[in-house]
Structure 1
């Protein structure tokens, strides 16, 4: 047995864990946290929180998420390039999906988030403008596409990793069957 195989399995597991963690964090922020933050006044009417205040809170949550996403993008770059180079049958489609994920991460974290923070610094009136609404809608769209591409990449990578041992098992089973029939 190859001595490096356990290390490769561990690296694969950690990579999938990180991508899965990022997907889960995105779902948690978008599906669970955002609706609660933006409806905080309905749960705590005495708090007197406005939509603008909710937006400030939500942005700070996304700033924290951006650290995870940027780290994930760097790991995706390293892992996928090494996997592509080491593979006998590299998946161009998977490389393309991951490239798109990396671009979307950096567009979301390095373009949209700073623009939203800048707009919020101009005050509540600016965040009520059509320009801000358009930028915010675009960032949500980028976020949803990113979630989709990361999810496709996650499941595709699982399929590729699980297909390898199945082929090896099938080959060893065939050899064993041939020996028994001889």
Structure 2
């Protein structure tokens, strides 16, 4: 069970790292290519399409981590060994926010991009995009809290 805990903590930290890298490192480069390549290289719409591809790949990682998280927490709960209600609730939050991001916000953004550049400039798109950012932030906070909680409990 200890090795599964280590795998769990590594997976949570990898997911957090991937999310930070996508949002803090990749997005600024993709959305501001003129800083590195000069003007007229990519439109904002084209940058958005590239960034969506990054998020589609990231979704595979965070989806797998959310699935592992809930399976691990349910298994621990069923065994009543090292059971922690707070970790269980945090895992549910991770699953819900991951599900929202993967199955609600990402398809909406992809669909809007398929309809064309005009669709990505609407107020509805802007609101949905902002909501997706908040969901991702909530996901990262829940993952971080879960990582800290499980790390702390493993030291007991």
User: Scaled by the length of structure 1, what TM-score is found?
Assistant: 0.82
CA distance in 2, matches of 1:19, 1:153: 8
Matches within 5 A, 1:45-124: 45=38, 48-88=41-81, 90-124=83-117
* Pairing 1:133-144 to 2, within 5 Å after superposition: 133-144=126-137
Whichever of the two has the greater Rg, that structure is: 1
Report the secondary structure of 2:42's partner residue.
coil
Give the whole-Å Cα distance in 2 for the aligned partners of 1:24 and 1:102.
Answer: 17
2-structure distance, mates of 1:48, 1:34: 16
| Residue 86 of structure 1: how far off its partner (Å) | 2.2
CA-atom RMSD in angstroms: 1.2
Closer/same/farther in 2, CA of residues 26 and 13 from structure 1, 3 Å limit: same
| Residues 59-82 of structure 1: per-residue CA shift (max 9 Å, x gap) | 000000001111111111110111
Work out which structure has the larger RCO, using CA pairs closer than 8 Å and 6 or more positions apart in sequence.
2
Q: Which residue of 2 aligns with 1:168?
A: none
1:110-142 deviations in whole A, cap 9, x for unaligned?
110011000011111111111110010000000
- State how far apart, in whole Å, the 2-side matches of 1:120 and 1:156 are: 39
Structure-2 residue corresponding to 1:12: 5
> Shift of the alpha carbon at 1:15?
1.1
Q: Which SS does the other structure have where 2:68 is aligned? A: helix
Distance 1:20 1:91, change over 3 A: same
Report the counterpart of residue 140 of structure 2 in structure 1.
Answer: 147
Gaps of 5+ in 2: none
Q: Any gaps of 5 or more consecutive residues in structure 1?
A: 1-7, 164-182
| Alpha-carbon shift at residue 53 of structure 1 (Å) | 0.6
Is the contact made by 2:9 and 2:147 (CA closer than 8 Å) also made in structure 1?
A: yes
Match of 2:151 among 144, 150, 158: 158
- What residue number does 1:5 align with? none
**Cα distance, 1:90 vs structure 2:** 2.7
